[in-house]
Structure 1
Amino acid sequence: MPHADANSPTPLTIRLPDGRLLGLTRYGNPAHRAVVFHHGFGSSGLELAADAALLARLRLQILAPDRPGVGQSSVYRRLTFPSFADDVVAMLDALEIREPVGVMGWSVGGVHALALAARHPARVAAGQLLSTCLPLGEPAAYRHLSPLWKALRWGQVSFPWLNRTTFLWLSRQWQRHPDRTIDWFIRLMFPAEKTVTRRWRALLRDAAVQGFAHHGRGVFDDAQAWCRPPGFLIEDVRAPMRLWHGQADGVWAPGNIPYLAERLGGAPLRLLPGQGHMLYLENWAAILEEMAALLG
C-alpha cells in the first residue's frame, strides 16, 4: 500500500479472501474514526471533495471503496448487495479497523449502505442515506416505485444484452472523450443537478471515468444486482440512520423517501428545498458534522 497522506486522498488496494482486488480511496488521517462511503451508480470513490481540514477538525477518515468492476476493483459478475457488504468487512479487517464505523451511501450507494448495516450490524455504528434509492428488486419497495423506474427495471431485466451494449459504449466514451461525455450528460440533466454538476465538473468527470472502467462491466453488474431481490431486509438495520434528500431531485423524486424512513423505524429525514440529487456535494460539511455527532 502507498504511504498514507492525511492531507490528500490516498488510493489503496486490498486483496480480498477470494483473491480479488478491492480498490478504495482514503480521505483523511488513518488514525481517526472511520466512515465508509458507498459511491453512486456509474461513479467511483473519487466522487468526494477532499477537505482535509474539515476531516481533521472532526477527527474522521473516509474510506470510499470501489464496487467490483470499478476503478482498481476486480470484476465480480456474481455481485449482490450482501456480497459487497462482505467485501467491505474484509476491507475493514485488512485495514485493522475493529471499531464500529459510520456508513454513508449516495444514490444507489444508499442501498449498499443499508446492506452493510443489515448484514453486519456489529460493524456499523450509524449511517446516512444521501439522495438514496430503493432496492428495485424487492416486491414491497417495487410497489412504491415511479412508473419510470418500473420501466427502467423492466428493461434491465428483460433486455440485459441491450444494457450491456449501452454500458460498453458509454465506457468507451468516458475513456476516450471524458470532457465531451460529461458535457453531454450535463445537457440532459434537470436544473438542480445541472447547476451542481457544472460546479463540480472535473471531480464528477474523473469519478465517472473510473466508474466505467473494465468496459462498463461493473456498472452493468451493479445494475443487475440492483434489480434482483436485495438479499437483506431493511428492517434488519439496527444502527441509527439519517436521510438527506432534495425536494427538487430530478433523478429519484422524494415521494417514497418517507416510506423508507418509516421502514427504518421512523429515521429522521431532511428534505431540502430546491436541492437535487447531488446535494451531498453542496452540504458536505453539515453531513460530516452530523456523522461526527452520531459517532461521538
Structure 2
Amino acid sequence: MPAPTAGSPTPLTIRLPDGRRLGLTRYGNPAHRAVVFHHGFGSSGLEVPDNAALLTRLQLQILAPDRPGVGQSSVYRPLTFPSFADDVVAMLDALEIAGPVGVMGWSVGGVHALALAARHPARVAAAQLLSTCLPLGERTVYRHLSWVWKGLLWGQLGFPWLNRTTFLWLSRQWTRHPDRTLAWFIRGMRPAEAHATARHCTLLRDAAVQGFANHGRGVFDDAQAWCRPPGFRIEDVRAPVRLWHGQADGVWGPGNIPYLARRLGGAPMRLLPAQGHMLYLENWPAILEEMSALLAAAATPPL
C-alpha cells in the first residue's frame, strides 16, 4: 500500500484478512475525520467529487472503497451486504482508523451504508443516504416497490444468465467506447438525471469504466446481493441518519422514502424539488457541511 499523503485523490489497495484485495480512493488529508462513501450500482469510488479545498476547510477525508469485482477489488462471488460491511471494517482497521466514522451511500450504496451501520454500530457515528434505494430482497420492502422494480427483481433472480450476459456486454462497451456508452445512457434518462450527468460526464464516465471492470463480474454479484435477503435489519441502525432525495428522481422515486425514514426512527428527510437521482453531485458542499456537523455532534459528550 502506498504511503498516505495529503493529496486528493489517492488510490490505495489493502489486503483483506482472507487474502483478497480491496481497492479504494482517498480524498483529502488522512489526518482528518474519516467518512466512508459507498458508491452506486455499476460505478466505483471514482464517482466522488474532488473538492480538496472543501475537505480541508471541514477537516474531512473521504474513503471510497470499491466493492468486490470493481476496479482493483478482487471478485468475490458470495458478496452480501454483511460481507462488504465486514470488508469496510477491515479497511478501517488496516488504515488504523479506530473511532466511529461518518458513512454515506448513494443509490444502492445507501443500502450498503445501512448494512455497515446495522452490523457495526460502534464504528458508525452518523450516516447520510443520498438518493437511496431499498433492499430489494427484503419481504417487508417488496410491497413498497414499483412494478418496474418488482419486474427487475424477478428478472435478476429468474434469469441470472441473461443479466450476466448483459453486464459482460456493457463491460466491453465501457472499456472500448466509454464516451459513446455514456451518451447512450444519457439519451435514456429523464431530464433531471440527463442534465446532471452531462455536467459531470467525465467523473461519471471514469467511475463507470472501473465499475464494469473484471468483465462486469462485480456488477452482477452486486445485483445478486441486492436481490437476496439483505442479512441485516434496518431497525438495528442506531446512528443518526439523514436522507437526501430528489422529487424528480427518475431511477428511484421518492414515494417510499418516508417509509424508510419511519423505519429509521423518524430520520429527517430533505426532499429536493426538481432534482433527480444525481442530486449528490449538485449538493456536495451542503452534504459535506451536514456530515461535518453530525460528526461534531457525535463527538460532543452529553451534558
Which category describes the TM-score, using the shorter chain as reference length? Answer: over 0.9
Residue identity matched to 1:128: Q
Between the aligned partners of 1:2 and 1:15, the Cα distance in structure 2 is: 12
Contact 1:157 1:224 in 2 (8 A): yes
Partners in 1 of 2:37 and 2:185 — Cα distance?
A: 24
Equivalent runs, 1:6-45 vs 2, <5 Å: 6-45=6-45
CA deviations on 1:25-67 (whole Å, 9 max, x unpaired) are 0000000000000000000000011100000000000000000
Cα distance in structure 2, aligned partners of 1:129 and 1:264: 11
Rounded Cα–Cα distance in structure 2 between residues aligned with 1:53 and 1:216 = 34
CA separation in 2, counterparts of 1:190 and 1:3? 43
Cα distance between partner residues in 2 of 1:53 and 1:250: 32
Q: How does 1:42-191 map to 2 (within 5 A)?
A: 42-191=42-191
**Residue by residue, what CA displacement relative to the aligned partner does 1:197-245 show, whole Å, maximum 9, x if unpaired?**
0000000000000000000000000000000000000000000000000
Q: Percent identity?
A: 84
**1:78 is paired with a residue of what secondary structure?**
coil
Q: Distance in 2 between matches of 1:3 and 1:225?
A: 33
Alpha-carbon deviation of 1:2? 2.2
* Partner in structure 2 of residue 273 of structure 1: 273
Amino acid at match of 2:177: H
Looking at structure 1, the residues matched to 277 and 2 of structure 2 have their Cα atoms a distance apart, in angstroms, of: 33
1:259 lines up with 2:256 in the alignment: no
Cα deviations by residue, 1:143-168 (Å, 9 ceiling, x for unpaired)? 10000000000000000000000000
Q: d(CA) in 2 for partners of 1:3 and 1:185?
A: 38
Deviation of the 1:3 alpha carbon? 3.5
The aligned residue for residue 300 of structure 2 is none
1:7·1:28 contact (CA, 8 Å) conserved in 2?
Answer: yes
Q: Which amino acid aligns with 1:112?
A: H
Distance 1:171 1:271 in 2: 33
The aligned amino acid for 1:171 is: S
Q: Which residue does the alignment assign to 1:216?
A: 216
TM-score, normalising length: structure 1: 0.99
Residue 293 (structure 1) aligned with residue 293 (structure 2)? yes
Shift of 1:5: 3.5
What residue identity is the alignment partner of 2:291?
M
- TM-score, length basis structure 2: 0.97
The whole-number CA distance in structure 1 between the counterparts of 2:264 and 2:219 is 27
Structure 2 stretches lacking a partner, 5+ long: 297-303
Unaligned runs of at least 5 residues, structure 1? none
1:227 maps to amino acid: C
1:188-203 equivalent positions in 2, closer than 5 A: 188-203=188-203
Q: Distance in 1 between matches of 2:237 and 2:38?
A: 16
SS at match of 1:30: coil
In structure 2, what is the equivalent of residue 232 of structure 1?
232
* Aligned partner letter, 1:133: C
Shift of 1:71: 0.1
TM-superposition CA deviations, 1:9-32 (whole Å, max 9, x none) = 000001000000000000000000
**Is residue 6–residue 52 contact of structure 1 (8 Å, CA) maintained in 2?**
no
Deviation at residue 8 of structure 1 after TM alignment? 1.9
- Please give the alpha-carbon distance, in whole angstroms, between the structure 1 residues aligned to 2:244 and 2:15: 33
Q: Which amino acid aligns with 1:205?
A: R
Q: Secondary structure at the match of 1:18?
A: coil
Structure 2: how far apart are the matches of 1:114 and 1:169? 31
1:221-277 CA distance string (max 9 Å, x none): 000000000000000000000000000000000000000000000000000000000
Report deviation, 1:285.
Answer: 0.2
Instruction: Compute the displacement of 1:4 (Å).
Output: 3.1
Amino acid in the other structure paired with 1:242: R
Question: How many residues of Structure 1 are paired with residues of Structure 2 in the alignment?
Answer: 296
Superposition misfits of 4+ residues, deviation over 6 angstroms = none
Q: How large is the Cα RMSD of the aligned pairs? A: 0.5
